[in-house]
Structure 1
């Protein structure tokens, strides 16, 4: 589904939207209580949050690799995978440490979930604003048409940075 969404509305919107869905449904997990009904609510909410997460992951990779020459695609994919692995390696222990500050396990888990949801929501807004600004700068740098139809450059493009 995510590739279709990216093709329809663009990777930036799917990335920000997927993160917002994930954040909102992570907040929804705070309402889950103990008992049989809570288990079903948990399964539904976590499944839907997973859809938002996977949509964000697909669009993240599309965003990171779009417009790159073929010989740089592997490097960009490696960098995106590395950032994801570092996020998991650092994020889970931080949330676990935060959760362990509470004497009651359930309140600790809820605290960790709330912090995670807030962090993902802030990330979604930051990504949306950042990608919108980058797209605007990119459009401003494109050649404009003179009245006679010949292109002219509005802004000088900066040289492309290369990873060394």
Structure 2
């Protein structure tokens, strides 16, 4: 029996359940069905989508009055500069927030230079780390995919792939089992 917890990075859509199930199938290789899966969900609208597809629903935080704050409530309060977000946040979240001085980033655009300055102030060399990360990515996947995913020019990732000694340039996509 599979358990599907409904949290993820799928944009809001009336087909959220179907898109999530297809994503699980594509990324995890699992074809989830109502016969072998129980959906754990705290959002009534999302639970209804899975129920329409025949999935049994395990209500998370069901029948609790008043309903507890959900993770996005913490983020909404934080974004609104409401200090009560800390009352909802997990202690480990508060620890990370304080340790990495994330208060310093509040109300600043999330730009690579902003993050680089923060990381550099913690003593981490950002340029060397970024280059090493990109070289690892081009070893793991074709350079054009890395370029698209990270916003680099394809020539830059192709050069880094060559320097890293990758063999992706000879990779021919498609089904070769035919």
TM-score by length of 2: 0.25
Larger relative contact order, structure 1 or 2 (CA cutoff 8 Å, min sep 6)? 1
TM-score by length of 1: 0.27
Which has the larger share of helix? 1
Instruction: Compare CA radii of gyration and give the structure with the larger one.
Output: 2
